[in-house]
Amino acid sequence: MKHSLIPPGLVFGVALVAASGAAAQTFPVTVDSCGSPITFAAPPQRALIHDLNMTEMALSLGLQKRMVGVSGISGWYKSRPEVDKALGGIPEIAARQPTLENILAARPDFFFAGWNYGMSVGGDVTPTVLKRYGIPTLVLGESCNHVDKTRPRASMELLYGDYIKLGTIFGKEAAARAQVDAWKQRVARLPRAPGGRPTRVFLYDSGEDRPLTAGRFAMPTAMIEAAGARNVMDDLDSSWATVSWEAVAARDPEFLVLLDYRNDGGAAKLMQFLQQHPLMRHVDAVRNRRYVALRYEELTPGPANIGALEKMAKALAR
């Protein structure tokens, strides 16, 4: 199926046709960042973006000329060739977590990151600390639960809202909204599994003693529900957290989402472990080998979510 605008493979740095005739956006603009308003008198000129998923948001909006650096990519996972090509000469200031010194040395006028995505509650890199240096921070919506447990459970708005906010900050609100509309159309066309009961799904990120998985605040929960299924850990009062194997096995998932870390054996290694686990080898999904393998950037909020959701829905409908 051919889709308009940015396809599942992501074409970075392309202005969206739907916005080409729109009137120029006016400034100042104000957006919400985890419940706090941040105002921009003009689009940032020296943006610093953390993590692969947020970097892909920036690249899909064509923000390269306004990016002074990225962080948190090479130290955790391998980016794809098209991402490396789109970044060009934009430097990575830190392979994993950026320090305050790393950030200040880059002299950014904007930082896009999240709690546990480049920032730690109580750490040296926070929106409050960076504000002292005149650096406004857009906080990834999915991560806001770390500072506000009253946040609503995950929905696709985690992606849509952040993408529109980023576009608005850089004077590309119309383009961002056009892209979100196209994404919503694709989500509306997803195939559905037969039968009336939602398939029970478990996401396995990593860990052998205790698995790391997605709770009710995490993007995969929204994706699983958008595909017509249910995350068996949707009552976990967190975004990403560890649980016991006993708890997972008791809920007998019928389908698995396996994180495909290409620098760590990938989804095949995870499945092999599950098949040998004394509890998990008996659950429905493992016995029937029903799973989909998705990459990190496909399951953290970013443009790759839409293509990943299509893969997930197709696999669930089989």
Q: What is the pLDDT of residue 1?
A: 32
Q: What is the pLDDT of residue 309?
A: 97
Query: pLDDT by residue for the chain (318 residues), tens digit each?
Result: 333 333 444 556 544 434 444 568 999 999 999 999 999 999 999 999 999 999 999 999 999 999 999 999 998 777 788 999 999 999 999 999 999 999 999 999 999 999 999 999 999 999 999 999 999 999 999 999 999 989 999 999 999 999 999 999 999 999 999 999 999 999 999 987 776 789 999 999 999 999 999 999 999 999 999 999 999 999 999 999 999 999 999 999 999 999 998 666 689 999 999 999 999 999 999 999 999 999 999 999 999 999 999 999 999 998
Q: Give the integer Cα–Cα distance in Å for 21 and 285.
A: 49
**Residue with token string 């990943």:** 308
CATH class of 17-186: alpha beta
Domain with CATH 3.40.50.1980 in the chain: 17-186, 200-317
Q: What is the pLDDT of residue 2?
A: 30
Token digits of residue 202? 């478990």
pTM of the full structure: 0.92
Q: What is the pLDDT of residue 76?
A: 78
Does domain 200-317 fall under CATH 3.40.50.12160? My reply is no
